[in-house]
Structure 1
Amino acid sequence: MDFTLTSEQRALSDSVARFCERNYTGAARNALINTDIGFSRENWKSFAELGWLGAALSEAEGGFGGGAVENALIMERFGRSLVLEPFLISSIHGLQTLLGTEPTQRRSEMVEAILSGEMLLSVAHSEPASRGDLNQCETMAQKIGPNWTISGHKSVVLGAPSASKLLVSARVDEGIALFLIDPAAVGVVMRPYRTLDNHRAADIWFDAVEAELLADPSSAPSAIQRGFEHALLGVCAEAVGAMDVAISTTRDYLKTRQQFGIPIGNFQALQHRMADMFVEYELSRSILYAGMAAMDRNCSERAKTIAAMKSFISSAALFVGRNAVQLHGGIGVTEEYVISHYYRRLFVISAQFGNESYYLLQMAKNPVPFWTSEVERGGTEAIIIVDKL
């Protein structure tokens, strides 16, 4: 496969980089963290105007003829600046899950609203007992006449506090289906909180909530899998961008911090540590490319490569983040210094959508799509909560 970027892809990457340089200084990001929603709606409006929200969609789907590579390019640049806007949650995970459902007029209207920036879509699939298992779903849907109601509990629903709509999985007699719910509907109880990396999430309880059926069990599982795989590619691309900046920031610190009258970067032991970090970063970038190439393959081959990618990058993200903090010494753990924020995000990414152990298990089991196999539970979807909103 030729990994040379096209002129359009280079232009996309450059435009994201310029935007982040202008709008994501440390002070600007800290100001956004302390707002009620934790990101900028003005930035989100700009994303829509620049076409980034539809960069990965074909022209037939209302986009600009791109694919998973375009999303990865955007997410890598976002990882370098620790962007807080819910691009991964709504425009990758939510949108790709929605596109996995059957084409309908309702779906087209929702896609248009997402691409215009009017709708933020959050996928509510994870449950306390799921531990990374996509087939685990205890939330129940019941049909009463022509209407559906949902009852159950979803955990760590990323982006839920600011979502316009929730894409909720629930079990019916034939299997898992997907429903659309208004987060302000009667019977929805949401407990929002800030995660360790300063993003926003919520635990949600549904008590006989009215819901709109979007996908029945014939298409919902494959739609969930599609959205999940695209989200994994996006979060791994973000990790690669964050690791790159963590390494360069640490390198610059070692060149300026002095001990015994010389820069500590002259010490061979620290040089070896930096070399190990760089190796992990380069290997992560290589396996990210493999993941991008695998998105066009059949289900089994794609699942294997995606599992290998997430397993390795989860480990590398922790290694690079921990060493970056350690090489900075005490300043590395302070709220005011940037490297602590990169470590927090890398720490969360290592567990987000499943950790290293979970995907090692999937590779050992020679995985096939989750709706046709029994998947042993493992990994974690847990993200450490540091305070409530």
Structure 2
Amino acid sequence: MNFVLTEERKMLQDTLRRYLRDKYTTSVRNDILNSEMGMSADIWAELAELGVLGALFTEDQDGYGGAGFDIAVVFKELGRAGVVEPVLDSALMGGRLLAAAGKADMVEDVIAGSLQLAVAHGEPGGRYDLDYVLTQADGDALTGRKAVVMNAESANHLIVSARNGDDIAFYLVARDAPGVDIQGYPLLAGGRAAEVTLDKAPGIPLGLGLAEYERINALALVAISAEALGAMESATALTKDYLMTRKQFGRPIGTFQALAHRMSDVLIELEQVRSAVINAAGNLHASDRDLHLSATKNLIGRAGRLVAEEAIQMHGGIAMTQEYELAHIAKRIIMADHRFGDTDYHLERFIALSAA
């Protein structure tokens, strides 16, 4: 496996990092968090213009990337900057589902930033089981309830899963279609989600089943893992800077042995996470893909909690203030564990896959 980024991926990384460093400040993010939609249309358009959204799609899908390492590069940088725009849910998951359905014209709109999507698959009581779908399709009319639907309020369309007989099928539903009720709320880690109720809402069949969704979910696992890695890198860098700036007894507190040892533990965990993300991105198309993904996600949850807790404790009270960068970053790290399966879920999944 090649651990060195290609020239194109290095350019993408550098371009995105510079843009976010200059434009995505803590004050800008706080303004976005306090906004009605929980995202910035201007930032979204600029990410599309930079080609960030196009990097999530293959050349056959009118993009220029789409591989595991392309996804990891993008989301690691988004995680480093604490970006709250729904790139994962709208562009990656929603866009790749449309691509799998052969909706090339809509995929072009996603890449251009003019079309936003929300994937409505999870349901109350379903936890992380992908085959837990109680929503029913009567012909093309959908009835049921979806939980924690990211970006539902801002999306142009929802991609909704429903039971069609014994199978799970996916449908394209306009956000403002009759029978669609969206109740939105802010999320702890930033952005907004919604509870979506469907009452005979008209949907357009996409011709996709659970197998296609599982492949897209694998991409999302790499993305959320890379995003958490980027957030951990930011938390670690902020903590190192603080330890070498804050002085006590006439010298930086980072020179005290107890804090130096704790920082060493954080750095070791960070390197393990970095290796795990590289491994997951490189094995997206392997026969034992799910084994690698569950191992990575389990490690993300365990290491992420350590990094976030140590960063806050070594900072002290300032780490809990909204005006300080670490407050948001630490929330992102912790909440990443609860998306697409938490630590316990993926430990059980890894054990089951290993025994199979």
Shorter-chain TM range is: over 0.9
SS of the residue corresponding to residue 134 of structure 2 reads coil
Alpha-carbon distance, 1:261 to partner: 3.2
The residue type paired with residue 59 of structure 1 is: E
Give the equivalent residue in structure 1 for 2:277.
288
Provide Cα deviations, 1:171-190, integer angstroms capped at 9, x if missing partner: 11131000111111111111
Residue pair 1:192, 1:202 contacting (<8 A) in 2 also: yes
Give the distance between the partners of 2:41 and 2:60, measured in 1 at CA: 27
SS of the residue corresponding to residue 262 of structure 2 reads helix
Give the equivalent residue in structure 2 for 1:28.
28
Give the equivalent residue in structure 2 for 1:381.
none
Give the distance between the partners of 1:54 and 1:367, measured in 2 at CA: 35
Taking only the aligned residue pairs, the percentage that are identical comes to 37
Give the equivalent residue in structure 1 for 2:94.
94
Give the equivalent residue in structure 2 for 1:383.
none
Alpha-carbon distance, 1:347 to partner: 1.1
Give the equivalent residue in structure 2 for 1:341.
328
SS of the residue corresponding to residue 366 of structure 1 reads helix
Residue pair 1:150, 1:211 contacting (<8 A) in 2 also: yes
Give the equivalent residue in structure 2 for 1:58.
58
Alpha-carbon distance, 1:306 to partner: 0.6
Q: Does 1:332 find its partner at 2:319?
A: yes
The residue type paired with residue 246 of structure 2 is: R
Provide Cα deviations, 1:103-143, integer angstroms capped at 9, x if missing partner: 3xxx1122112111111111101111111000111111111
SS of the residue corresponding to residue 141 of structure 1 reads strand
SS of the residue corresponding to residue 203 of structure 2 reads strand
Select between 1-10 and 52-61 the one with higher mean Cα deviation: 52-61
Alpha-carbon distance, 1:195 to partner: 0.5
Provide Cα deviations, 1:319-351, integer angstroms capped at 9, x if missing partner: 101110111111111222211111111111011
Paired residues for 1:302-341 under 5 Å: 302-341=289-328
Give the distance between the partners of 2:302 and 2:65, measured in 1 at CA: 33
Give the equivalent residue in structure 2 for 1:120.
116
The residue type paired with residue 311 of structure 1 is: N
Give the equivalent residue in structure 1 for 2:126.
130
Give the equivalent residue in structure 1 for 2:82.
82
Give the distance between the partners of 1:222 and 1:110, measured in 2 at CA: 22
Give the distance between the partners of 2:240 and 2:60, measured in 1 at CA: 46
**Distance verdict in 2 for CA 1:64–1:129, change over 3 Å:** same
What TM-score results when the alignment is normalised by the length of structure 1? 0.88
Select between 73-82 and 24-33 the one with higher mean Cα deviation: 24-33
The residue type paired with residue 109 of structure 1 is: D
The residue type paired with residue 133 of structure 1 is: D
Paired residues for 1:161-240 under 5 Å: 161-215=153-207, 219-240=208-229
SS of the residue corresponding to residue 178 of structure 1 reads strand
SS of the residue corresponding to residue 226 of structure 2 reads helix
Alpha-carbon distance, 1:94 to partner: 1.4
Give the distance between the partners of 1:257 and 1:27, measured in 2 at CA: 23
Alpha-carbon distance, 1:65 to partner: 4.4
Residue pair 2:80, 2:233 contacting (<8 A) in 1 also: yes
Residue pair 1:303, 1:367 contacting (<8 A) in 2 also: no
Give the equivalent residue in structure 1 for 2:48.
48
**Distance verdict in 2 for CA 1:160–1:367, change over 3 Å:** farther
Select between 30-39 and 179-188 the one with higher mean Cα deviation: 30-39
Give the distance between the partners of 2:7 and 2:250, measured in 1 at CA: 48
Residue pair 2:53, 2:111 contacting (<8 A) in 1 also: yes
Alpha-carbon distance, 1:60 to partner: 1.8
**Distance verdict in 2 for CA 1:359–1:247, change over 3 Å:** same
Alpha-carbon distance, 1:35 to partner: 1.6
Residue pair 1:122, 1:160 contacting (<8 A) in 2 also: yes
**Distance verdict in 2 for CA 1:367–1:176, change over 3 Å:** farther
SS of the residue corresponding to residue 160 of structure 1 reads coil
What TM-score results when the alignment is normalised by the length of structure 2? 0.96
**Distance verdict in 2 for CA 1:65–1:339, change over 3 Å:** closer
Give the distance between the partners of 2:353 and 2:341, measured in 1 at CA: 17
Give the distance between the partners of 2:96 and 2:69, measured in 1 at CA: 14
Residue pair 1:53, 1:91 contacting (<8 A) in 2 also: yes
The unaligned stretches of length 5 or more in structure 2 are none
Give the equivalent residue in structure 1 for 2:254.
265
Alpha-carbon distance, 1:201 to partner: 0.5
Give the equivalent residue in structure 2 for 1:67.
67
Residue pair 1:181, 1:212 contacting (<8 A) in 2 also: yes
Residue pair 2:68, 2:282 contacting (<8 A) in 1 also: no
Give the distance between the partners of 1:322 and 1:76, measured in 2 at CA: 20
Alpha-carbon distance, 1:66 to partner: 4.4
Give the distance between the partners of 1:226 and 1:99, measured in 2 at CA: 12
Alpha-carbon distance, 1:9 to partner: 0.9
Provide Cα deviations, 1:4-39, integer angstroms capped at 9, x if missing partner: 111111111111011101111112111222221122
Residue pair 2:294, 2:346 contacting (<8 A) in 1 also: yes
Q: Does 1:108 find its partner at 2:104?
A: yes
The residue type paired with residue 231 of structure 1 is: A
Residue pair 1:161, 1:202 contacting (<8 A) in 2 also: yes
The residue type paired with residue 138 of structure 1 is: L
Provide Cα deviations, 1:237-292, integer angstroms capped at 9, x if missing partner: 01111101101101111112223333221221111111111111110000000001
Residue pair 1:56, 1:68 contacting (<8 A) in 2 also: no
SS of the residue corresponding to residue 153 of structure 2 reads helix
Give the distance between the partners of 1:227 and 1:97, measured in 2 at CA: 7
Residue pair 2:159, 2:173 contacting (<8 A) in 1 also: yes
Query: After the TM superposition, which parts of structure 1 deviate over 6 Å for at least 4 consecutive aligned residues?
Result: none
Aligned residues: 356
Give the distance between the partners of 1:115 and 1:248, measured in 2 at CA: 32
